[in-house]
A and B are shown apart, each in its own frame.
Chain A
Amino acid sequence: MSIQVTRTSVHADRDWHDFYKKVTSESKRHAREIPFASMRHAFVSFACLGYAHGQYVEIDRGRRQELFIAPSFEQEHVPILVALAYSRLVSTGMPHEEAIQVVSNSNGFVPIVEGWAQGGAQIFKAALESGSPLATDVLMELVMPEVKRAI
């Protein structure tokens, strides 16, 4: 039985919607200055970054704005997002079985991951402000230490 991904909306704080737009473009010409090809890519990276920095920022439900819907996640990213959500749940004391139950579908894991992504977006914004004007380089600089460790 696989993770159930339905048409769950993926959100960010509405004040951060413009930031998502700013860091997103499919254009090849702007690949150096704009680090993400799509909002889902930005969301996944931010979520992982937020997790790595332990920065979880819960989004006020009244201030949410949709970025995209869950089926657009790449297949390989979904279990990772589930792991992030699971980690958040168990860290609050929820038992394993219950946590697994919650993250088994997108309605369960997406709202939790949104908090990590919100935290990660703030970190990335700060990195952009103090780093190279070539934003993609900033992303790569952030990622490369992890890459070196992994390979």
Chain B
Amino acid sequence: MIDRRGLLRAFSGVKDENLRALMARLVQVYREHEESAHAPLAHYRAAIESYADQYGDTLDPSYEEPLPTGPESLANGESGSGARRPFITLESLTVENFGSYCGQTTISLAPVGNRNVTVVVGSNGDGKSTLFMALNWALFGNDYIDELQAGQQRELADLVNRAAALAAGEQNCPVEVSVELAFSVEGVKYFVTRAFQATVTPRGEELSISVQLRPTKLRRLDASGNLADLLEGALVSLLSQLPARVRDFYLFDGEKINRFVAPGAQRAVRSAIRRVVGIEALETTAEHLRRVSAHFRSEARRLASGDLARIQDSLARRTDELARTQQDIERLKGESLGHRSRVEEIDAFLSSTKDTRPLQQRRKELEDLLKRYEEEEESLVFTLRELACHASTLFASEAVGRLIEELDRRREAGVIPGPISEQLIKDLLDLGECICGTPVGPEAEARRRLEARLDMLAEQSRQSEFQLGLFYQLGSSSRWVVDKAAQLDRGRKELSRIREHLRDARNMLKEVSEQLEGIEVVDRSGWEAERREREQALIRCEAKILSANERIEELKREIERLKVEEQREMQGQMEAAVAATRANWAEAAELNIRNVFAAYAAQARAEIERETTRLWKAMLPNVEAYRVSVSDDFELSAIDELGRPAMQELAMGQQQCLGLAFIMSVAQVAETKPPLVIDMPFGRLGSDTASSVAAKLPQLTEQLILFVLPGTEWNSSIQEAIGPALARQYSIKYDYEAHCTRVAS
């Protein structure tokens, strides 16, 4: 509730007539609605904005006024109440050698009578977005070019028409590129021209283009039909007639419509509502009042002495701390909102993407398993290869068997190992006497015969020994080979088992890989870690806000106590008392202004919520079961009949309509109805919905400019719906041979 006395007292001694008038108007509004619980806060806002627009940034708080003249006198003051934003109308757009447009092309945009819609129909690549860019550049100059560069990595040089660039390259002369927007504000016509000169140098098949920006021209058409040059700065002032940062809210390139309904959109929603409320103006005013109170507080301290000076010091310190703490809270609230938005974005992202970690883990396990089996297989095959070589000698079994058989037969027949007489003869020769007593000494005839016999037997013996040895070696080798064969057999069974595992593992790996195929693999851990950090930061912010609020309450109590002491001590120190009183009143006024804002913000939010619901349901009959909610945290959401959040259940088209309804309701609550320019407004809507939306759109704003696709966005039912409001229609087509967009009206 507004503290009328506080407001009156605060400004009773202020010299600035506008400020006095403002406060008088606020009091008047208050009085008019004293009986009701809710004053029409739009009136407060209008009064405050009117004041802040004119003086907010420039007022010098060094007031030197005599004593207060009495509060009631202010109540009769008049203000600029009921200030209405003047309308801006976009009249025409002329582009020269810009983007796909070669030479000079002009399209008219102005409404014709009650018909307020201009439609530009063209396929992708025909030049719709080029006109959208031209509008943005004309209105917002280098800020937009910087944005274009950051967002789409496009330079000014990329905006030179190709045909013009080629011709310039051949003729060795520069190309003039320009965009001129004609618009009117409250019936006065203005022209803003942005231009640059491009120098083209052919480099093989490529063109090298350097640009030189021309100064921006702003001209006004006066009553006598003459054009007067204005400074560029005046454009900012003219555009300020539009809601702040108009392009954020009233020039939409398709996707922007959806950002209000996207997860984590609280910041955008809050920003939109704050602008409707006129938060900048309110904050400027409140800040001004803070400076005023600080000035008087300082004066009071300078003039005071004794205990009063001490009290003033304490008061000054505490009021400073109070202001700082309040600023901290605002900052922390902003941070909290940022963290909350981000957490929502992360949640939406995580729920929209499949958690591939279990699959990835499974794939890793299978890959490891596969690798292990492959190593086992490799190792086993290495062993089996050698065993197979040994076992292959089984092919010679028949030959080996036959030889063994032959040798065995000979062995059994006593042919091998041969006669034992060889050793007997050796023994006899050693003895020198035969067993029959015949001497076989060195000279004996018998010895010669025995020695000849021994030579013959030696040869037979070597062969016999070889065959016997061979017999045993063949037997031994055969057993060795059979042993190796048995090992090979066992190894082969093991190999089959391993290969079966390998097949299974490969099949499973293939299945898992197929499941992972086509799924975007994201590092969820990183997102989850960020979510944890954000949540912790949010908790910290909220704890700080709680603590700061407690401190504020404490400071307020201390300030109240000090003010009571101050009142007691002020007796006899009149000058200091006056300054202190002014400071107190200014503080009270600041507090009240902030209360006005808070109440208005709440009301605006409720109005936007109500209006968004109404417009959304008017556009779409199939969303009757839902209602729209704008929460305290500025979250725009759809709620079902059971009170549950239902945004995720909505179809894309329903969501887009909700975004559109929100934009419209913001414009309506702001009482602005600025020109609305939308690139591809019906892209996501079904044909019935598109027709329904198309029929409603023209009624929601003073001027509507649509860039649409032929067919899907500009079919007979949409044309029929927009028809009564259609002022102009252009068809554009890009001529690929001429590198130029042709425009037909």
Listed in ascending order, the chain A residues whose CB lies under 8 Å from chain B are 1-3, 28-29, 31-32, 35-37, 41-42, 44-45, 47-49, 51-52, 76-80, 82-84, 86-87, 96-97, 100-101, 104, 136, 139-140, 142-144, 146-151
Number of chain B interface residues as a range: 35 or more
Listed in ascending order, the chain B residues whose CB lies under 8 Å from chain A are 377-379, 381-382, 384-386, 388-400, 402-403, 406, 462-463, 465-467, 469-470, 473-474, 476-477, 480-482, 485-486, 488-489, 492
CA distance A32 to B381 in the complex (A): 6
**Is B388 within 8 A of A136, CB to CB?**
yes
Q: Given A2-B469, A35-B385, A151-B489, is A51 in contact with B477 using a C-beta cutoff of 8 Å?
A: no
Q: Give the interface SS of chain B, mostly helix, strand, loop or mixed.
A: helix
Offer 29 A-B interface pairs, CB within 8 angstroms, sorted by A. A1-B465, A3-B470, A3-B473, A28-B378, A31-B382, A36-B385, A37-B386, A45-B388, A45-B393, A47-B396, A48-B392, A48-B394, A48-B395, A51-B398, A52-B398, A76-B481, A80-B477, A84-B399, A100-B467, A101-B463, A104-B463, A104-B466, A139-B388, A139-B392, A146-B391, A147-B486, A150-B391, A150-B481, A151-B482
**Is A136 within 8 A of B469, CB to CB?**
no
**Is B391 within 8 A of A143, CB to CB?**
yes
Contact of B392 among A31, A44, A84, A97 (CB under 8 A): A44
Q: Give the interface SS of chain A, mostly helix, strand, loop or mixed.
A: helix
Contact of A83 among B382, B389, B403 (CB under 8 A): B403
CA distance A140 to B485 in the complex (A): 11
Which residues from B are CB-within-8-Å of A87? 398-399, 402-403
Name, among B388, B476, B480, B489, the residue most crowded by chain A CB atoms within 10 Å (CB to CB): B388
Which residues from B are CB-within-8-Å of A96? 406
CA distance A143 to B733 in the complex (A): 77
CA distance A86 to B473 in the complex (A): 15
Which residues from A are CB-within-8-Å of B406? 96
**Is B392 within 8 A of A76, CB to CB?**
no
Contact of B394 among A47, A101, A147 (CB under 8 A): A147
CA distance A122 to B476 in the complex (A): 30
Nearest CB on A from B385, distance (A): 5
Which residues from B are CB-within-8-Å of A28? 378-379, 382
CA distance A142 to B385 in the complex (A): 12
Nearest CB on B from A60, distance (A): 24
Which residues from A are CB-within-8-Å of B474? 79-80, 83
**Is A51 within 8 A of B403, CB to CB?**
no
Contact of B489 among A29, A35, A139, A147 (CB under 8 A): A147
**Is A136 within 8 A of B393, CB to CB?**
no
CA distance A97 to B477 in the complex (A): 22
Q: Given A35-B388, A100-B467, is A140 in contact with B480 using a C-beta cutoff of 8 Å?
A: no
Which residues from A are CB-within-8-Å of B400? 79-80, 83
Nearest CB on A from B700, distance (A): 73
**Is B473 within 8 A of A2, CB to CB?**
yes
**Is A136 within 8 A of B384, CB to CB?**
yes
Which residues from A are CB-within-8-Å of B473? 2-3, 78-79
Nearest CB on B from A79, distance (A): 4
List 10 A-B pairs, minimum CB-CB distance, nearest first: A52-B395, A48-B395, A87-B399, A146-B394, A45-B392, A1-B465, A31-B382, A79-B473, A41-B389, A147-B485
Which residues from B are CB-within-8-Å of A48? 392-396
Which residues from B are CB-within-8-Å of A151? 482, 485-486, 489
CA distance A147 to B477 in the complex (A): 15
Q: Given A44-B389, A77-B477, A140-B388, is A52 in contact with B396 using a C-beta cutoff of 8 Å?
A: yes
**Is A150 within 8 A of B393, CB to CB?**
no
CA distance A139 to B394 in the complex (A): 13
CA distance A136 to B384 in the complex (A): 9
CA distance A26 to B170 in the complex (A): 70
Name, among B385, B391, B398, B480, the residue most crowded by chain A CB atoms within 10 Å (CB to CB): B385
Nearest CB on A from B459, distance (A): 10
Which residues from B are CB-within-8-Å of A47? 396
